[in-house]
Structure 1
Amino acid sequence: MDRLEETLVALRQIMRATDLSGRSLARETGLSTSQLLAMQALKSGDEMTAGAIAKEVNLSQATISSLIDKLEGRGLVMRERGSTDKRKVYVVLTHAGEELLSQAPTALQDRFSEKFEELEDWEQGMIAAAMGRVASMMGASNIDAAPVLHTGAIDKTPV
């Protein structure tokens, strides 16, 4: 196999791994990867507004608001007014949300993050540069994409 074929196979493997992981997560929990990441951010126990969650998981405020609406509709999170500042609305995990989160498998993104952090700084830089170059070669540099390993729309619950 030549280098082009090796590269295309590796790209396809990454795409398939992302898709399969998302499908598995949806099958086991009914959550998308981005919903799981938002819930994991809430697990820290700190009071978090939608804006704080958006910043934590690197998604837009609009996307997080949509995710929270869906999670709230399923009874996994709830919104509460602040006790000291009634203008602030915090998002908190419900008991059902905590239970689901405790049983959820580790997201592909979390597994990747752990392995990536173990790499030397130069290796991380090399991978980031190579992936940026690949995105550019595919004409994808200007496509808006969140730093989430998930296929399809970020704020949609997979079926």
Structure 2
Amino acid sequence: MTEVSRVIDVPPEAVFEVLADGWLYAGWVVGSSHIRDVDRDWPAVGSRIHHSVGPWPIHIQDETVVTAVEPGLSLSLEAHGWPLGAAAVALTLVPHGDGKTLVRMTEHIVGGPGKFLPAPLQALVVKPRNAESLARLADLATGRHARAGSSDPHP
């Protein structure tokens, strides 16, 4: 299992707002290129984001399913992305000082050909990608939070 973490300068509920908006998934998940549909009850257990993976025009249509959720605290997903297969992804939000959040993201491949790659090789691909995903999540959460606290509609 590979883990990355990042402190984001907003409270956990602000980070979870981004996670709870399935239409923002391609904005923070590296590799997801297009959202086709989001189940109305996202992020309830069993709900899905229908997305494309990879660059146009050779992208693959796939989906991500919620496997567990604790609103404001954690979100667990099974992310499908051929050709590697499926991965179990967990995001945990921990209050970290005054108004900040420590986000931990773990991932391990649970299905498809990628499951047979040795853990150190998986980590070579997964760790930098997930670090970038957390950087994008931080930008989205920080930007939304700043806008929500601003009286200027276009800060």
- TM bin (shorter chain): under 0.3
Q: Which TM-score applies when normalising by structure 1?
A: 0.24
Q: TM-score, normalised by structure 2?
A: 0.24
Larger strand fraction of residues: 2
Structure with greater helix percent: 1
Computing the radius of gyration over CA atoms, which structure comes out larger, 1 or 2? 1
